[in-house]
Structure 1
Amino acid sequence: MKKNVFFSVLLLINSFVNAQDRMSGRIWATRSEVIAQNGMACTSHPLSTQAAIEILQAGGSAIDAAIAANAMEGVVEPHMNGIGGDLFAMVWDAKTKKLYGLNASGRSPYTLTLEELKKRGLKHIPSTGPLPINVPGCVDGWFELHKKFGKLPMERILSHAINYARNGFPVHDELATSLAAVPRLYGQFPNVKEHYYPDGAVPKKGEIFKNPNLANTLEKIAKGGRDAFYKGEIPQIIETFMKKNGGFLTAKDFADHTSTWVEPVSTNYRGYDVWELPPNGQGITVLQMLNILEGYDFSKIPYGSTEHVHLFTEAKKLAFEDRAKYYADPEFAKIPVKSLISKEYAAERRKLINSDKAASRYDAGNPALKDGDTIFLTAADKDGNMIALIQSNYRGFGSGMMADGLGFMFQDRGEMYTLTEGENNTYAPHKRPFHTIIPAFITKDNKPFVSFGVMGGSFQPLGHVQIVMNIVDFGMNLQEAGDAPRLNHEGSSEPTGEKMTDGGVITMESGISYETIRGLMQKGHKVGYILGMYGGYQAIRVDADKKIYFGASDSRKDGHAAGF
């Protein structure tokens, strides 16, 4: 017995030292990648991953599996996502060897005008109540994806979510924490009490939570298709509820809703093509940052060093100024995407960075002169198809508004408009807002390499860039890239109208050295630690030659990667 313990300790020490060697002396907690041949699913909840794997094993495509997982996520993580929110996705289709992009975000109500919002004396759209609600795009997104890439019937795909909504599931750690805040944040809104704490108390960790109303809604969608959600009884229930409670969504808003298939855009970062979706999302921020950072030799700049964090932060400040000025619904504004993500524009912007001093502010560039709380999941199947899917209510559970008997809360994404006239992102009826949720994909030599995403509002582009750099510049594997300490910069200008004036603040997780922090302060940065964590991460890497998948899921949360 003692001998076994001795050798176990030796093995532990050896693996620890090897990890140090691999990471050039950097130490943080991580775990192994998951490796499988026939399929892979990585989500932020074990039951969602289980649903996806079961669909794959039944012969479903990666897209079927992702829809099943997303529906399950709306049941078990209602504080993050659900059918009251929006969806974006990128799909690698093995047959055509092409990457497809889907924008399934909703638009503002026809009947709510900028004049009405200003008449109320608002400087910003509030985050709760009826005003920040747009048409939910999630369900239409499911059916657009399924029509193009699905194999199994939707009744089969949604069966897991329907079952767990009807029969219940044990509340997990993260949901329990979020549920505890429901009375304070949403208790004043109709139907919330009856839904989240029908017995007078919010469910605690390990207690069974049921949502029969959501089960019924999902069942109608499974049987009646997307029109069951966007036409007929459900939108009529919603319109009646909104009129009764000061809202503006109508059945016409639902009937006129459409998703949009878009061409993903990319930049090459040291031999790897990094793909994002164009606006109204913030994905091209990632490409702008990578283009700026490519001008520095990170083979000579250690991970977590003062120089690494400083250059990363300054690149972020520059890109976010363009993000605040230009990103919006392309149907309402001309956005110079090609110039914004060009190498030439990045070279001009890079000249503004002082390697020795933090900038208190930057102005947005002028590229047009040269131009003529969220879930992420990913799945891959035996045929080589892969999907990166992200879906969200925006802030927590959403707006607080729950239509009678439907079992879900509406998103509050409309908070992201600005009420300043003449801006790209100024509020208008039937307009998509600036969006934070972004899926990501990496290809190499025109072959799929990694599908991934990082949750967390405005942090998401920073998270994407850190993942790419961790893999490409710092040699981390897929799991290590997500577990490495993250850093954020807060205080940049935002599309909602806020302006950066004092350089903002770098906040970071534990694991960044005090030497680095001192160095950053000497350069003029304000620095702080985060109490908690940044985002959540899921990823799949494919070895296209060996036909093997590697899966990773964030150790900070309840997520789970699995394959078969």
Structure 2
Amino acid sequence: MRDFHFPGRSAAIACNAMVATSHPLATEAALHVLRDGGSAMDAAIAGSAVMAVVEPQMTGIGGDCFALLSDPRDKGRVVAFNGSGRAPGNATAEHLAAQGLTNVPIDSVHSVTLPGAIDGWFKLHENFGRLDMDRLLRPAIAFARDGYPVHARVARDWRKSKTHLAAREASRAVFLPGGVSPSEGDIHRNKALAATLDRVAKEGPKAFYEGEIAAAMVRTLRAHDGVHTEEDFHAVSGDFVDPISTEYRGRTVYQVPPNNQGLTALVILNLLSGFDLAGLPPGSAERLHLEVETARLAYALRNRHLGEDTAMRVTADDLLSRAFTDDLRTRISRDAAMTDLGALDLRKSDTVYMTVVDKDLNAVSFINSVFDSFGSGILCPETGVLFQNRGHSFSLDSDHPNVLAPGKRPMHTIMPGMVSEGGKPVLSFGVMGGDYQPLGQARVISALFDHQVDLQQALDMPRLFTPGSVVEVERSFPADVLHGLMAKGHDLAVARDPIGGAQAIRIDHERGVLIGASDPRKDGYAAGF
């Protein structure tokens, strides 16, 4: 129960539909679609398209998407969609290694994988949509053409990326008008992007992946020494796949399988399931210590094993087996931090996430991203498309399952989440923040089902992250908790930025209500009717 003596927000509660996004304009666009009779997927596409315009530092049509969906007409079966793009057909690790590189530079054209979002939107719409795409993309087109007001968190992120954007003429012209980053309340436009979205809305995905738009994007990438071809764009195609899952406290937690890192969250939950967390205060040093240690083990496994599924040498079932989990858990001490894992080399990055549940209880967990802030920083001036830099996640180690190779998908950090109970969806949610996402999802699930925390409070709780040997903590942690962590051997540092973001919708089948929550670390909110 929220203490109304303190600042904060209440969860949103409604009966007919619920939306939670990281941006007010996206929430409103999605709600209007639902009021017009659209499905949860229609609303998710409309909201995601708006965010691709109004949160350009985090998402865009030059990026990728993933989704989890639960359809009550199919007995609540959860379906996964992988809308991640692939490396160009001429990209090789050997080519970059010959240049003396040991990784894929995050701001280089070599980090640009093919954009899968537009293909994903249309495939998902074909299977789960009701309204036509021209209606769904109309709000995003209007914001890109006529302008939108920059919100507070967006302005903060934008300002931090000024040097990145200034490095290239096209991105500088669009995103640093007058040589400065927009301030909160300033109006920003991307008219070339509006024209691209308008054409895609009217002509379909072929207008993006073939013809003039694809040719213009390839010219831009080639001008920056990329090896991308129009044939690479023609070949983009996302996939419906079977989700992977684990049981946690009597509920089923679903993730998209590799190349997605969702498996990492399931490993964390399996490890946590062996501890009596309900007997520990959710914000205590003892409880947080277990969170850090299980996460470190799971991330080490991710770094060693994850990549495109066909390249992995172990399966998800191997890493989620009870015997493997029990053995791995023996490495955790309740009293002392681990010191033998080596470098994890994790990093936080930015993305957007949204979730929608409609009157028929169709649940959509949807995430769309350009990876790092403003992606690669490479903008196609003719189309307004900013390219992602997801290829930075590839390894150049020829023995690693995630090594860069022609037409290959990289290990991907963005991960929608969903939880069901008794064959019915009870939670559709996601946590943003790059590598932080598995730990963030496990934290939310544990808060809800170990500690019965209110949904909004579960997103509000202070966060920590362990990118390496140092544990980053938000400033909101009480001093006694930090001293307790240090007493167990953890080196702490105050996080420079807030850690991640989240949106969630809980489906209360017994009372017939939808409960929505949105992270205060972002600009957005949850709303329903």
Q: Same fold (TM over 0.5)?
A: yes
TM superposition score normalised by structure 2: 0.96
Query: Using the alignment, how far apart are the partners of 1:287 and 1:268 within structure 2?
Result: 9
Aligned partner of 1:344 among 306, 310, 323: 323
Distance of 1:282 and 1:545 partners within structure 2: 33
Is residue 140 of structure 1 aligned with residue 119 of structure 2? yes
- 2:229 counterpart of 1:250: yes
Post-superposition Cα deviations, 1:150-178, rounded to whole Å, max 9, x if no partner, equal 00000001001011111101111122223
1:51 maps to what in 2? 29
Q: How does 1:263-412 map to 2 (within 5 A)?
A: 263-362=242-341, 373-412=350-389
Query: Secondary structure of 2:516's match?
Result: strand
2:198 is the counterpart of 1:219: yes
Distance 1:307 1:202, change over 3 A: closer
Aligned to 1:236: 215
Q: Tell me how far apart the structure 2 counterparts of residues 130 and 327 of structure 1 sit (CA, whole Å).
A: 24
Distance, in Å, in 2 between the alignment partners of 1:183 and 1:286 is 33
Matched-pair contact (CA < 8 Å) for 1:304–1:513: no
Q: Among residues 490, 493, 501, which one is paired with 1:525 in the alignment? A: 490
Structure 2 counterpart of 1:495: none
In structure 2, the partner of 1:440 is: 417
In 1, the alpha carbon distance for the partners of 2:162 and 2:521 equals 26
> Deviation per CA, 1:446-489, whole angstroms, max 9, x where unpaired?
11100000100000001001000110111111101000111111
The one-character-per-residue Cα deviations of 1:61-82 (angstroms, maximum 9, x if unpaired) are 0000000000000111000000
Partner of 2:347: none
Q: 1:453 aligns with which of 399, 417, 430?
A: 430
CA distance 1:198–1:430, shift in 2 (3 Å):
same
Does residue 1:41 correspond to 2:6, yes or no?
Answer: no
Matched residues in 2 for 1:222 and 1:395: separation?
27
TM-score (norm 1): 0.90
Name the amino acid aligned to 2:276. Answer: D
* Structure 2 residue 84 is matched with structure 1 residue 84: no
| Secondary structure in structure 2 of the residue aligned to 1:199 | helix
User: Kindly tell me: are residues 29 and 283 of structure 1, through their superposed partners in 2, closer, same or farther at Cα, counting changes over 3 Å?
Assistant: farther
1:4-23 alignment to 2 at 5 Å? 16=3
How do 1:548-559 residues align onto structure 2 when only pairs under 5 Å count? 548-559=513-524
Contact 1:332 1:431 in 2 (8 A): no
Show CA shifts across 1:296-341 (max 9, x none). 1112211122211111111111111110111100133343101211
Output the amino acid matched with 1:173. Answer: A
Distance across 2 between alignment mates of 1:539 and 1:522: 34
The CA distance in 1 between the partners of 2:424 and 2:512, in whole Å, is 12
For 1:250, the aligned partner's letter is T
SS in 1 for 2:499: coil
Counterparts of 1:307 and 1:398, CA distance in 2: 38
Q: Aligned partners of 2:221, 2:34: CA distance in 1, in Å?
A: 39
Structure 2: distance between partners of 1:33 and 1:475: 14
Identity in percent: 40
Q: State the aligned residue count.
A: 522
Matches within 5 A, 1:165-204: 165-204=144-183
Q: CA deviation at 1:103?
A: 0.4
> Per the alignment, do residues 280 and 357 of structure 1 end up closer, same or farther by CA in structure 2, a change over 3 Å counting?
same
Task: Determine helix, strand or coil for the equivalent of 2:111.
Answer: coil
Find the residue that maps to 1:206 and give its secondary structure: coil
Residue equivalent to 2:52: 74
* Letter paired with 1:46: P
**In 2 relative to 1, CA 203–514 (structure 1 residues): closer, same or farther, beyond 3 Å?**
closer
Structure 2 counterpart of 1:498: none
Q: Does the 8 Å contact 1:357/1:523 carry over to 2?
A: yes
Q: Deviations over 1:43-94 (max 9, x none)?
A: 0000000000000000000000000000000111000000011100001112
Rate the CA distance shift 1:15–1:50 in 2: closer, same or farther, 3 A.
closer
1:160 matched residue in structure 2: 139
Structure 1 residues 412 and 15 mapped into 2: Cα distance closer, same or farther (>3 Å)? closer
Matched, 1:541 2:499: no
Q: CA deviation at 1:293?
A: 0.9
Instruction: Please give the alpha-carbon distance, in whole angstroms, between the structure 2 residues aligned to 1:205 and 1:363.
Output: 42
- Deviation of 1:29 after TM superposition, in Å, equals 4.8
Distance between the aligned counterparts of 1:279 and 1:479, measured in 2?
30
Of the structure 1 ranges 197-206 and 125-134, higher mean CA displacement relative to structure 2 is found in: 197-206
Q: What is the alpha-carbon distance in structure 1 between the residues aligned to residue 323 and residue 246 of structure 2?
A: 12
Task: Tell me the residue number matched to 1:125.
Answer: 104
2:492 counterpart letter in structure 1:
V
Kept in 1: contact 2:456–2:517 (CA 8 A): yes
For 1:440, the aligned partner's letter is G
In the alignment, structure 1 residue 562 sits paired with structure 2 residue 527: yes
* CA distance in structure 2 between the partners assigned to 1:357 and 1:175 by the alignment: 39
* Larger gyration radius, structure 1 or structure 2: 1
| CA offsets 1:248-291 (integer angstroms, 9 cap, x no match) | 21111111111011111111111121111111111011111111
Matched-pair contact (CA < 8 Å) for 2:88–2:407:
yes
The alpha carbon displacement at 1:363 in A equals: 8.2
Task: Indicate if the aligned counterparts of 2:2 and 2:457 stay in contact, CA closer than 8 A.
Answer: no
Whole-Å Cα distance in 2 between the matches of residues 291 and 190 of structure 1?
Answer: 48
**In structure 2, C-alpha distance between the alignment counterparts of 1:175 and 1:311, rounded to whole Å:** 33
Q: Tell whether the 8 Å contact from 2:192 to 2:381 is kept in structure 1 after alignment.
A: no
Q: Which residue of 2 aligns with 1:4?
A: none
- C-alpha RMSD of the superposition: 1.7
Q: Secondary structure at the match of 1:550?
A: strand
SS in 2 for 1:180: helix
Distance 1:518 1:555 in 2: 26
Q: 1:187 to 1:300 in 2, by over 3 A?
A: same
* Partner-residue secondary structure (3-state), 1:449: strand
Partner of 1:110, secondary structure, is coil
Aligned AA (2:52): G
* Unmatched segments (≥5 aa) in structure 2: 344-349
- Of 450-459 and 335-344, deviating more is 335-344
SS at match of 1:331: helix
Kindly report structure 1 stretches of 4+ aligned residues shifted beyond 6 Å: none
Asked whether the 8 Å contact 1:267–1:291 carries over to 2, the reply is: yes
Partner Cα separation in structure 1 for residue 520 and residue 221 of structure 2 = 40
| Preserved contact between residue 166 and residue 176 of structure 2 (Cα < 8 Å) | no
CA distance 1:444–1:15, change in 2 (3 Å): closer
Q: How does 1:25-40 map to 2 (within 5 A)?
A: 29-40=7-18
What are the Cα deviations for residues 106-127 of structure 1, in whole angstroms up to 9, with x where unaligned? 0001122222101111011111
